[in-house]
Amino acid sequence: MTVERKRVLSGMRPTGRLHLGNLHGALDNWLKLQEEYDCFFFVADWHALTTDYATPQQIKEYTWDMITDWLSVGLDPKKSTIFIQSEIQDHAELYLLLGMITPVPWLERNPTYKEQQQQLKNKDLSTYGFLGYPVLQAADIIIYRAHGVPVGKDQLPHIELTREIVRRFHHLYGHKIFPEPEALLTEFPTLPGTDGRKMSKSYNNCVYITEPVESVHQKIMTMVTDPQRKRRKDPGDPSVCPVFEFHKIYSTDDEREEIVKGCRTAGIGCVDCKKMLLRHIDEFLDPIREKKKYYMDNMMEVHEIIIDGIDRAKKETAMTMEMVREAVGMAPFSGSN
């Protein structure tokens, strides 16, 4: 008997190259999960359209940037099924069917709906597609009959809505097809950017995982430190210093201890402290840069990985959709679809 591994699924919007914040947030978690679960990871390009429908030109480019970055940090196509949402049209059909049973008030009370409309004022988000976004996300998840969904806190309402839709589907159609998916929350501290705010593309404060060495050095050497530490002889406080947040990821316990002591007594300067950090960052990013170069030089191989992922994904969605069409009384008379 083969013991089926629990299935995990997650998606990421194509926002282009990944930065260290993405890597030490969501992606590190994915890398861990692929060792233990049957994982499906996809580029949520249709989701990008819900906010960027007026300017879709970059979505394709961002999709491949992101995929090559995923592979470069170690997402492994032998362990994980990696694909692109818009290649799997079954998502759209399930989205349509779930749309039939999802009450509009469930969507209107979704906190991210109003929040995002407020935040992205330069875009007209009064569309049907934007309102229905969580239904598409529900379809993405349950079409693979996923048990676990690694997401950040901001996505919790969407997972809860997915569970409600699953219950409603089962209640209406009497077939228990889907597991009720659970959010796999991991609390990772958010990595600050070079200006001390949360690392985010929109703040222009990111260090990208495949950024050239000189550029990384330039960014770290000019990064903000403890603002109270103005001169070399002033003591500092690592607990308020963004550079120290990086040391927490990249340096050893002994080094951190040395830095804490040195910083508080003005024994070491920020330049020395940053140089120590850069040695580790270089060591960490060098192999990632090399892999990125390899994949960029061998895009055919990347395409094959994704074609294979699409293939595996489609096998799963076909199985689910057969049960779904049957359940809702929409099985094709020709026996196939």
Q: How many helices (H) and strands (E) does the chain have?
A: 15, 5
Cα separation, 18 vs 41, whole angstroms: 15
11 binds, among ligand SF4, ligand TRP, none (CB under 5 to 8 A by kind): ligand TRP
Q: Per the structure block, which two tokens stand in for 198?
A: 């949360």
Concatenated DSSP letters of 282-317: HHHHHHHHHHHHHHHHTHHHHHHHHHHHHHHHHHHH
> For ligand TRP, which residue of 43, 98, 151, 273 counts as binding (CB under 6 A)?
151
**Residue 141 near which of ligand TRP, ligand SF4, none (CB within 5-8 Å, type-dependent):** ligand TRP
Position 141 contacts ligand TRP (CB under 6 A): yes
Strands 38-43 and 7-12: parallel
Minimal distance in Å, beta carbon 265 to ligand SF4? 10
13 binds ligand TRP (CB under 6 A): yes
Nearest Cα neighbor of 135 from 103, 171, 176 is 103
Interaction pattern, residues 26-45, with ligand TRP; x per rule: CB under 6 A: ------------------x-
Tell me the HSE value of 45 on the side-chain side, using a 13 A CA sphere. Answer: 22
151 touches, from ligand SF4, ligand TRP, none (C-beta below 5 to 8 Å by class): ligand TRP
DSSP E strand boundaries for the chain: 7-12, 38-43, 80-84, 148-151, 182-185
Among ligand TRP, ligand SF4, none, what does residue 238 contact (CB within 5–8 Å per kind)? ligand SF4
**Least distance to ligand SF4, CB of residue 230, Å:** 10
Among 39, 71, 82, 149, binds ligand TRP (CB under 6 A): 149
Name which of 56 and 235 has its Cβ closer to ligand SF4: 235
Q: Which of 241, 285, 305, 321 binds ligand SF4 (CB under 6 A)?
A: 241
Q: What secondary structure letter does DSSP report for 198?
A: B
CA dist 159 and 148 (Å) reads 10
Q: Is 236 in the site for ligand SF4 (CB under 6 A)?
A: yes
- The residues binding ligand TRP (CB under 6 A) are 9-11, 13, 44, 47, 137, 140-141, 149, 151, 155
